[in-house]
Amino acid sequence: MISDFLLRFIKGLKTRFSANENREDFLRIFTNRTEHYATQIDKITISGLPAYEGHGREVVLVDDRNLHHAVGDLMKQRYVGFDTESRPTFRKGEASHGISIIQICSSTRCYLFQMRNITEIAPLAKIIDNPKINKVGVGLKGDYSQLKSTFHFHPAALVDLAPIFKTFGRKNDAGSKQLVALVMNQRLRKSKRASTSNWSAEKLSAMQLEYASDDAFSSVDVYLKLRDEFKPYAELLDKKMLDALDL
């Protein structure tokens, strides 16, 4: 079944190109790409993909001592990976413990803001509330709500990857593991042990550092690759997709 997004693209293609050869080439490449992104890769196939882990990029824990340096570095970026981690709840009716870690990373460095060790959060608003810095993640609705209610941030330019892939014709929301497999052809490890660990601990484990940074790094990696892939077709994309990919 052809998605509405692909149908709009075909219509624009017919208007733009009069030469059948160019039109067919564009259509074939674009159709293959969008149809691939609408598929669901099964667990067995993902398990056989090369690992995304081991990216070797710098991971920096942030507290009061290096907060301004971290914010200054991130202010230079236009696209950053974004995620949060919270101490989990295990009892029915137990109140949320709120956000413990905020991950913000460029394509080369990931900053993990340990909120328990940051007394003045105003500098962070320069990133989170900044409409000129695209903060890319997966399933950001909950993060948005907690950032507002807990820290009184006014998050701007949050780019959720899941709705972008639904535009391609996906029927279900895709998590970061699925998106890394689809776009990067790699396997992102998602450890339940890490996700349910104590994120408010004073000292984070190596497992936690890897889990948190991989989540944020993978989001910006997927987004930047999507931008590169769809940039040649920018004149044929609708405004919604152009805005989402900042093209």
User: DSSP code of 115?
Assistant: G
Of the candidates 144, 159, 179, 117, the one whose C-alpha atom is nearest the C-alpha of residue 244 is 159
- For domain 42-245, say whether CATH 3.30.420.10 is its number: yes
Give the residues across from 226 on adjacent strands: none
**Residue spans per domain, the chain:** 42-245
For the cut 50, the answer to whether the pLDDT of residue 217 exceeds it is yes
**Residue 87, φ and ψ in degrees, nearest 5:** -65, 125
* pLDDT range class, residue 10, cuts 50, 70, 90: low
Q: Give the integer Cα–Cα distance in Å for 70 and 38.
A: 37
Cβ 207 vs Cβ 76: under 8 Å: no
Q: Give the integer Cα–Cα distance in Å for 40 and 20.
A: 32
Cβ 179 vs Cβ 139: under 8 Å: no
Tell me the average pLDDT across 152-172: 90
Structure tokens given for 69 = 């340096």
* pLDDT range class, residue 214, cuts 50, 70, 90: very high
Q: Give the integer Cα–Cα distance in Å for 166 and 3.
A: 9
Tell me the average pLDDT across 107-132: 95
Tell me the average pLDDT across 124-128: 96
Q: What is the pLDDT of residues 19-39, one digit of tens each?
A: 444 667 767 777 788 888 889
pLDDT, position 246: 93
Average pLDDT, the chain: 86
* pLDDT range class, residue 160, cuts 50, 70, 90: very high
3-state secondary structure 116-165: HHCCCCHHHHHHHCCCCCEEEECCCHHHHHHHHHHHCCCCCCEEEHHHHH
Q: Give the integer Cα–Cα distance in Å for 37 and 166.
A: 9
Structure tokens given for 74 = 């991130």
Q: What is the pLDDT of residues 82-92, one digit of tens each?
A: 999 987 654 55
Q: Which residue type sits at 125?
A: A
pLDDT, position 54: 58
Cβ 64 vs Cβ 118: under 8 Å: yes
Total residue length of the chain: 247
* pLDDT range class, residue 238, cuts 50, 70, 90: confident
